[in-house]
């Protein structure tokens, strides 16, 4: 299987430069955090979505998404003046569905186990180009630009911790980091309640978890399963995948808000959670904060818990 290369990632960086925020490395205690929550759509997803639309130049697009990729693709489609349809599972946070509509996309809500099939049906029925949230080389290359930025700002980085869902983010970052600094460890992080990537790496084969199992985690952006393409990238480039508990995710959200003044959704906090819970290797570490599109009521609940402790 052909993997994304650092040359692909560098080409993507040129395409997305007009719209992507060059996020800094923010010190939070002894950890450096890469806050992709500062992107104009609130997550890293703008990188891959915009790169795909910019390179493919489709007449219209459709995707399935837990929310953040849908926002990003809607924004990218609007930038190029083409229609966009986003299929989301029931239970997607309103903060994300409202943003998808705000960027001009049509929203289709389906049961969780229907999202992939429904997106494929829309693509076939309306003649739209399917731009999946992770299972596409252009998407992976766009996400990999985060790795280029980390290495430009911190050439001697020793550990890069990255949230894992469908695997597009960690695939792209790992491809960049391992090409330019092979000694650095790239560690994927996922919730214990959606740990298909950790199980797949341990077994040496792709293992999928059904939606009824992964939907137990509050990290709604990390419920997708790996694809053959992203699993191949993980096997080639990722040193390990570790898991964190729901309590550890919430503690990391509080820590980022109070110590770093950074808002993280549960999915965005898992890399920091792994560091705080001692699950990462020692060394100069960057944790990717992948998104900040958190439901306001959940954020309030998490912060109120901190006041009570």
Catalytically annotated residues? 45, 290
Q: What angle do CA 133, 199, 225 make, to 5 degrees?
A: 20
Q: Which of 149, 161, 146, 174 is nearest to 230 (CA)?
A: 174
Q: What angle do CA 85, 90, 94 make, to 5 degrees?
A: 75
- Number of Cβ atoms within 10 Å of the Cβ of 52: 27
Q: How far apart are CA 293 and CA 167, in angstroms?
A: 19
Q: Is 81 exposed, middle or buried (0-12, 13-18, 19+ CB in 10 A)?
A: exposed
Exposure string for 145-183, b = 16+ CB within 10 A, e = fewer: bbbbbbbeebeebebbbbbbbbbbbbbbbbbbbbbbbee
Q: How many CA atoms lie within 13 A of 249 on its CB side?
A: 27
The sheet that has 61-64: what strands, in order across it?
106-110, 84-89, 61-64, 129-130
């Amino acid at each position: 299987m052909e993997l994304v290369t650092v040359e692909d990632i560098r080409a993507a960086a040129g395409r997305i430069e007009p719209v992507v925020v060059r996020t800094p490395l923010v010190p939070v205690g002894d950890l450096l955090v890469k806050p992709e929550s500062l992107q104009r759509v609130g997550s890293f997803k703008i990188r891959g979505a915009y790169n795909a639309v910019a390179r493919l130049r489709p007449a219209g697009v459709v995707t399935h998404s837990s929310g953040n990729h849908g926002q990003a693709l809607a924004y990218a489609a609007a930038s190029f003046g083409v229609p966009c349809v986003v299929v989301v599972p029931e239970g997607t946070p309103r903060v994300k569905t409202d943003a998808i509509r705000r960027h001009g996309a049509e929203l289709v809500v389906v049961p969780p186990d229907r999202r992939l099939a429904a997106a494929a049906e829309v693509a076939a029925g309306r003649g739209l180009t399917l731009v999946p949230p992770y299972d596409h080389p252009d998407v992976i290359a766009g996400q990999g630009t985060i790795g280029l930025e980390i290495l430009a700002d911190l050439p001697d980085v020793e550990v890069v911790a990255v949230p894992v869902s469908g695997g597009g983010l960690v695939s792209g970052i790992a491809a960049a980091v391992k090409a330019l600094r092979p000694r650095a460890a790239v560690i994927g992080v996922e919730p214990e309640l959606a740990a298909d990537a950790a199980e797949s790496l341990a077994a040496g084969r792709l293992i999928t978890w059904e939606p009824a199992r992964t939907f137990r985690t509050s990290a709604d952006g990390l419920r997708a399963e790996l694809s053959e393409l992203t699993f191949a990238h993980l096997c080639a480039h990722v040193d390990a995948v570790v898991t964190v508990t729901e309590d550890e995710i919430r503690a990391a959200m509080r820590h980022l808000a109070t110590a770093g003044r950074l808002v993280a959704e549960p999915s965005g906090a898992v890399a920091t959670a792994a560091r705080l819970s001692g699950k990462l290797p020692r060394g100069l570490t960057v944790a990717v904060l992948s998104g900040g599109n958190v439901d306001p009521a959940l954020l309030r609940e998490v912060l109120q818990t901190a006041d009570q402790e």
